[in-house]
């Protein structure tokens, strides 16, 4: 079964989209097949992969609303080796209203993924919106694992505590949900602020792993503007190297069985 990993943080600006794209590219370089889902109405991941929103016949909006659709029928190929995409469209913003009267609306994505034949893929990576709404809850209910991108900013830790409250409540619907770890992004290695934040993360969440840190750079934004991954745009850059390390880390972190009670945060060591 494909591992379903969501890049999730309610806070904006943490490089969720950049991380989803470049980890997918890194896994593709390792010979893995990846299906990425763009669950953000801003459709940044869709545009960053070079998919033309204006000509999309179907998007993740249709997938959530139409129970007869499958992720594999909505997916489109991308120019990034090994990566197919279930694209987003700004219409996705209307999904919350559309789902208001749908039975178990928080399980729509989970149902589509569970009912689909995903045997062609090793990973399903989900890019999440910077908000807590019905789209976010659908992601948390559908995901097997979470990677939490986090930038070295004082507000990041405050948001984290609310995030884990949300994860705890959602675990009643998805008791197998587990957190892979934190992905530090936009890290200036000579910054005292970044060092202090990483030390605080280790102190407050000793059971959670810190993935390889991604350095602060404009390369991610530049590659997105060129509609490709940083691994293709500037393959020898420190950012590309970091995302390759993140991909390797994820590959090495074999899934573990959830706790019997489904309580607490189940993590990879």
Domain definitions of the chain by residue range: 3-253
143-152 b/e (C-beta count within 10 Å ≥ 16 → b): bbbbbbbbbb
d(CA 19, CA 257): 26
pLDDT band at 264 (very low <50, low <70, confident <90, very high): very low
Assign domain 3-253 one CATH number from 2.60.40.650, 2.70.210.12, 2.40.10.480, 3.40.50.300.
3.40.50.300
Q: Can you tell me the distance from the alpha carbon of 70 to that of 90, in angstroms, rounded to the nearest whole number?
A: 20
**pLDDT tens-digit map of 199-249:** 888 888 888 999 999 998 877 778 877 888 999 999 999 999 999 999 999
Report the percentage of the chain scoring pLDDT > 90.
Answer: 64
Q: How far apart are the first and last CA of the chain?
A: 21
Q: Can you list the alpha helix ranges (DSSP code H) found in the chain?
A: 16-29, 44-48, 60-65, 71-74, 95-98, 108-115, 134-142, 154-170, 192-204, 219-225, 230-233, 238-252
């Amino acid at each position: 079964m494909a591992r379903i990993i969501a890049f999730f943080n309610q806070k904006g600006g943490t490089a969720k989209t950049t991380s989803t794209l470049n980890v997918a590219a890194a896994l593709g370089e390792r010979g893995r097949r990846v299906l990425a889902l763009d669950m953000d109405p801003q459709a940044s991941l869709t545009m960053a992969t070079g998919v033309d929103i204006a000509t999309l016949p179907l998007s993740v909006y249709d997938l959530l609303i139409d129970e007869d659709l499958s992720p594999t029928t909505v997916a489109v190929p991308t120019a990034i080796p090994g990566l197919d995409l279930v694209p987003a469209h700004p219409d996705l913003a209307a999904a919350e209203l559309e789902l208001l009267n749908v039975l178990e609306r928080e399980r729509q994505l989970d149902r589509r993924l569970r009912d689909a034949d995903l045997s062609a893929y090793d990973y399903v990576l989900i890019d999440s919106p910077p908000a807590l709404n019905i789209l976010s809850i659908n992601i948390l209910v559908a995901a097997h694992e979470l990677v939490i991108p986090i930038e070295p900013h004082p507000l990041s830790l405050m948001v984290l505590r609310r995030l884990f409250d949300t994860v705890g409540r959602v675990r009643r619907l998805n008791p197998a949900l587990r957190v892979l770890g934190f992905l530090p992004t936009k890290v200036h290695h000579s910054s005292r602020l970044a060092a202090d934040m990483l030390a605080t993360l280790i102190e407050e969440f000793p059971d959670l792993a810190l993935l390889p840190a991604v350095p602060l750079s404009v390369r991610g934004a530049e590659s997105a503007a060129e509609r490709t991954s940083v691994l293709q745009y500037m393959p020898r850059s420190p950012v590309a190297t970091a995302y390759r390390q993140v991909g390797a880390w994820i590959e090495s972190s074999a899934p573990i069985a959830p706790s019997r009670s489904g309580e607490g945060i189940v993590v990879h060591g």
